Structure 1
């Protein structure tokens, strides 16, 4: 099964980590929030999910749109031809256009 994973936080990272261990699931792409300044020095910091993929050398495309609803992002999602979209602590609302691309599941803590 080919999926798109949408998530940002530590909670999402844990879910992504488990999904990546499944032999029958192929993660086509990660959609996550843009890097944000953090801490006293406001150092630009990647989301937990992006950091995890990079540190573990996964060759999975990472997208960090400011607004997922923009047409170009919807087109990217369509072009991936996913069987399923998994959302966990993403931080943006999926538009009807995205919800109609593939079945979606939104996981909550």
Structure 2
């Protein structure tokens, strides 16, 4: 689910969104002894919308990719496809397997980078941060939100919260969570989240 040779590896869809790519696609290719490095058969591009998450992109690529597989099989049967070696890339864009420790949000990054990271991890494995509630630290998963580039002078990772809004400060702007899940609770929208919880201190980095 990528335009090879870019994003070889286990999580090509996630990394395309995380890196803020404007397009990706699907590639059919022959398998060889190296990971995702066989000769290319067919490729098809698809645009990534600015608010699309990895799950939504996955579903669109699944539909497109199924048709591309059929087209590839027909082409092979008719001997009308010419396989091509993948071009050598000096600095390839990789898509390494994602582990739990890779999903923590780094609030010292700029606001757009944080936004893309959250989109790229949503809905699975899902980006997370931690909240200190009273004396306890709780995991907070964030599935969706918006960002604003805005000088603020706040410490990255600090927050402002009241009964109507939830702001988390990144390097050069503000992130506004819209769908989130506190440890031990179900996934919910911001309104329900704010209705259920009163006291938040800070976010751990």
Q: Which has the higher contact order (CA 8 A, sep 6+)?
A: 1
Structure of larger gyration radius: 2
Q: With structure 2 as the length reference, what TM-score do the two structures score?
A: 0.19
